[in-house]
Amino acid sequence: MPVNRNPESAPSVTPPRLFVDADLVAGCPVAATAEQAHYLGGVMRRSAGDPIVLFNGRDGEWQGTIESIRKDRAQFQPTTQTRIQAPEPGPWLVFALLKRDSTDLVVQKATELGASALLPVLTERTNAGRVNEARLHAIALEAAEQCERLTIPTIHAPARLHAILDLWPAERPLFAAVERQNAQPLPPDPNAGLLVGPEGGFSRVELDALRGYSFVTPITLGPRVLRAETACIAGLALLQALPRS
């Protein structure tokens, strides 16, 4: 499903940055999607010859030009690789599904904050049972375009809490945000996982189950009770709050 873009951002001196599925090789044209063609021509008011930035999650980042553009089609010409593909490790976010707009916000901000995997979880107090996985992927893709990531986070299908925990790699710590518990503050660890429950928190049965996994550590995000989407954003920021060397 197309994701709305902000027309007020056009025109801009910064070349549009777009994700493509095709391989990126100098001199090999790349076809745009119909949505990209509409965005470039109808929203950004770009035309043939204008600069473009492309990435595909495999071949790094490339400068190029818009070779041709019409109402619903366009073609790009990659010219110069500006960034080589490099690993982008980041925390995993396990979050209880929320209502659609809140889930959309979590996916967008988690992508911007560098999460490498998003795992929607179904808990006893989860208010939503379905997701449009194509929509979430589109949101993550656009967020990666905006924040200049080279990769798109992996978005898993929703699963029950016990199913995610049973398959969790034991070498990756999982910090569970719990409310009103005697828990330690969240320590920085960009390679860990963060578990955030639904509005209303985890049930007593779920909290007892979490204690049975050696890799799970209950943590607190501070003295206030945060909305679930706020907890996801704050937790991901804290996990990566390491001083630069």
What three-state secondary structure class fits 62?
A: strand
Architecture in CATH for domain 7-83: Beta Barrel (2.40)
Three-class SS of 156-207: CCCEEHHHHHHCCCCCCCEEEECCCCCCEECCCCCCCEEEECCCCCCCHHHH
> Contact 202/178 with Cβ under 8 angstroms?
yes
Q: Which CATH superfamily is domain 92-239 in?
A: SPOUT methyltransferase, trefoil knot domain (3.40.1280.10)
What tens digit of pLDDT does each residue of 126-151 get?
987 678 999 999 999 999 999 999 99
What tens digit of pLDDT does each residue of 174-212 get?
999 997 778 899 999 999 999 999 988 999 999 999 999
Residues of the chain with pLDDT below 50 are: 1-4, 7-12
63: tokens are 């400068």
Tell me, what's the pLDDT at 134? Answer: 94
pTM for the complete prediction? 0.90
- Domain ranges in the chain are 7-83, 92-239
